[in-house]
């Protein structure tokens, strides 16, 4: 791992540790650099602000873990990995959800979920004549629905087992990707 990545990881770990006991909006750059033994100049060399660090954490830690699940056969496992990441980092994610950093959590969720869904849409539509704009529309629709489900699950204290939610979701949308694509086949 390059020195730059090691430094970023140290700051990320410091922020995550601080967020276990302190709301994001009460954490300063000075708090982060003190926690990991760096100086403010080093922080600003790598990130513009704490929110950019927050975004980096979500991209680095979570998005890379689900890249192998972008197909119809495994999309539920990819979605499970999103739930698992949130469970494993509950204080960090809940703190983000309840702060000005919420947009970064939502961006993370949108990015990973859209990536999963568009992979499924492309796979299913491989032998269909569906315009790109309709594929993107379908992926966006399902992505926003899935994000809503995740955020509600978080707001309700993450009590329901992710496996049950994913099973119910899978049963609900089974075949619906294909039906939606068929409706748009040969449109325009």
Q: Looking at residue 156, what is its pLDDT?
A: 95
Angle of helix 162-173 relative to helix 75-88, nearest 10 degrees, comes to: 150
Upper half-sphere CA count for residue 61 (Cβ side, 13 Å): 22
Tens of pLDDT, residue by residue, the chain (188 residues): 688 999 999 999 999 999 999 999 999 999 999 999 999 999 999 999 999 999 899 888 866 677 778 777 888 888 898 899 999 999 999 999 998 788 888 988 898 899 889 999 999 999 999 999 999 999 999 999 999 999 999 999 999 999 999 999 888 887 788 888 888 887 76
State the Cα–Cα distance between residues 51 and 145, nearest whole angstrom. Answer: 25
Q: Looking at residue 70, what is its pLDDT?
A: 78
Q: Looking at residue 188, what is its pLDDT?
A: 65
State the Cα–Cα distance between residues 17 and 4, nearest whole angstrom. Answer: 20
State the Cα–Cα distance between residues 79 and 66, nearest whole angstrom. Answer: 8
HEC assignment per residue over 48-113: CCHHHHHHHHHHHHCHHHHHHHCCCCCHHHHHHHHHHHHHHCHHHHHHHHCCCCHHHHHHHHHHHH
pLDDT tens figures, 117-152: 999 999 999 999 999 999 999 999 999 999 999 999
Q: Looking at residue 118, what is its pLDDT?
A: 93
Q: Looking at residue 1, what is its pLDDT?
A: 64
Q: Looking at residue 126, what is its pLDDT?
A: 92
Geometric angle at alpha carbon 161, from 145 and 75, rounded to 5°: 50
- Token pair belonging to 163: 């496996």
Nearest to 93 by CA among 49, 83, 30: 83
On whether the CB atoms of residues 50 and 32 are closer than 8 A, the answer is yes
- Token pair belonging to 1: 């791992």
69 DSSP 8-state letter: G
């Amino acid at each position: 791992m390059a020195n730059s990545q090691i430094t970023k990881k140290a700051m990320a770990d410091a922020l995550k540790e601080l967020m276990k006991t302190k709301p994001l909006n009460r954490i300063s750059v000075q708090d982060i650099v003190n926690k990991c033994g760096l100086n403010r100049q080093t922080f600003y060399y790598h990130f513009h602000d704490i929110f950019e660090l927050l975004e980096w954490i979500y991209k680095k830690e979570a998005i890379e873990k689900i890249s192998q699940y972008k197909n119809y056969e495994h999309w539920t496992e990819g979605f499970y990995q999103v739930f698992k990441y949130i469970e494993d980092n509950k204080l960090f994610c809940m703190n983000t959800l309840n702060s000005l950093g919420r947009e970064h959590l939502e961006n993370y969720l949108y990015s990973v979920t859209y990536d999963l869904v568009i992979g499924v849409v492309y796979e299913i539509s491989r032998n269909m004549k569906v315009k790109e704009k309709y594929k993107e529309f379908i992926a966006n629709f399902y992505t926003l629905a899935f994000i809503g489900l995740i955020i509600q699950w978080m707001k309700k204290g993450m009590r329901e087992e992710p496996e049950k939610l994913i099973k119910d979701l899978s049963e609900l949308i089974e075949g619906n990707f294909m039906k939606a694509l068929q409706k748009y086949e040969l449109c325009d």
